[in-house]
Amino acid sequence: MTFLVLDGLTKTYGDVRAVDNLTCTVEKGEFVSLLGPSGCGKTTTLQMIAGFTSPTGGRIELAGRDLASIPARQRGLGIVFQTYALFMHMTVRENVAFGLEMRKVPKAELTRRVNDALEMVHLGALADRYPRAMSGGQRQRVALARALVIEPELLLLDEPLSNLDAKLREEMQLELRRIQREAGVTTVMVTHDQSEALAMSDRVVVMDKGRLQQVDSPFDVYETPRSSFVSTFLGKSNNFPATLQSNDETGSVILSGGQTLRGPRVSHLPGPVEIAVRPERIELVDAGAGLVSGTVRERIFFGAQWMLAVETPMGEFLVARRNAGAREVEIGSTVHLAWAPHDLRILPAEHEVSA
């Protein structure tokens, strides 16, 4: 069931179009992430949904209601800011109860809802503690409980995990997703962190320069990007210009250097395209079995895997290799690279991506 509708949403500041004709929907109960680099318009989009910024054009509809004429304080939304914005002179319980007190909720109901919210975020035992005596992850959960206790129709998260260290951030991704599912609240999160969006979302809205690039499930947005920007922004990717020669059961691509490759069937017409292959899809094979050969220029150890930089006539390839408990090939070694045809992505040439 479509719950939130953004229809032609636009925001301009003088000659700058911060958000440019953004159209997408969010289903009831979904967790959707707005993902993109700094300045792509994702935070401006969230601010327009919240009512902090007025759209220049377009429509925002929530549960059948046009939000244009509804002030921010009357939209009934739960919001968790990047800084959490907790009241340091109040206890955890007082922070969580604040929104209910402003709504003049009866005392008995207020107590019940605050207790339920604190239990949901596993902070019942810390109800009388002050935020200054809590860790970053605990403060984040206080802010989340405060947003959820008002029983919002929509929860908005503005980079909610950005202030946490890497390990705690990963732990809180799982915790936040658990809480969202348990509460059943429709959620829109802004993030610039690709792994965070992929790990937490039902769907990802990828934005760049104010424009929507792709809306898909985390799996599909990573495995089947629709543009060069999406393929390179969502994880590492080896991208090269190419020419599509034919398009029957599989697309035949000839590179500028004369190397012929096979890929999946696509809708593009013969002509300039861009090909992409993920580092983890590339295998090291015996001489004569490779699609391209090259020299290992660099290798980096990440614990669970090695990343090789291989210089080839096509250009430099990044190759991800699972750590099998042994040191990887030496720098300066000649290696031979291959991948399955279905792992090759054939994308529109960058200048041909529709505006």
**CATH code at position 252:** 2.40.50.140
Q: What's the pLDDT at 353?
A: 44
Give a yes or no: residue 87 inside a domain: yes
Burial class (CB in 10 A: 0-12, 13-18, 19+), 92: buried
In this prediction, the residues of the chain whose per-residue pLDDT falls under 70 are 249-250, 256-257, 351-355
Give a yes or no: residue 230 inside a domain: no
Q: Does residue 35 sit in the same domain as residue 184?
A: yes
Q: Does residue 36 sit in the same domain as residue 149?
A: yes
Count of domains for the chain: 2
Give a yes or no: residue 305 inside a domain: yes
Give a yes or no: residue 229 inside a domain: no
Helix axes 166-183, 107-120, angle to 10 degrees: 130
CB 152 within 8 A of CB 144: no
Q: Does residue 323 sit in the same domain as residue 348?
A: yes
Q: What's the pLDDT at 326?
A: 86
Q: Does residue 108 sit in the same domain as residue 211?
A: yes
Residue 226 tokens, joined: 């629709």
Give a yes or no: residue 297 inside a domain: yes
Domain boundary among 223, 251, 276: 223
Angle (nearest 5°) at CA 243 between 238 and 247: 105
Give the largest CA-CA distance in the chain. Answer: 77
Q: Does residue 248 sit in the same domain as residue 132?
A: no
- Residue 37 phi/psi, 5-degree rounding, is -70, 170
Stretch (H or E) spanning 244: strand 238-247
Could you list the residue range(s) of the whole structural domain that residue 317 is in?
236-352
Residue 38 tokens, joined: 């700094």
Q: Does residue 98 sit in the same domain as residue 246?
A: no
pTM summary value? 0.90
Name residue 247's beta-bridge partners.
Answer: 251
Give a yes or no: residue 332 inside a domain: yes
Give a yes or no: residue 321 inside a domain: yes
How many other CB atoms are there within 10 angstroms of residue 122's CB atom?
A: 14
Q: Does residue 217 sit in the same domain as residue 70?
A: yes
Domain boundary among 223, 251, 272: 223
Q: Does residue 161 sit in the same domain as residue 261?
A: no
Q: Does residue 39 sit in the same domain as residue 175?
A: yes
Q: The CATH number of the domain where 198 resides is what?
A: 3.40.50.300
Q: What's the pLDDT at 355?
A: 35
Q: Does residue 75 sit in the same domain as residue 215?
A: yes
Domain boundary among 165, 188, 223: 223
Give a yes or no: residue 231 inside a domain: no
Q: Does residue 86 sit in the same domain as residue 149?
A: yes
Q: Does residue 135 sit in the same domain as residue 61?
A: yes
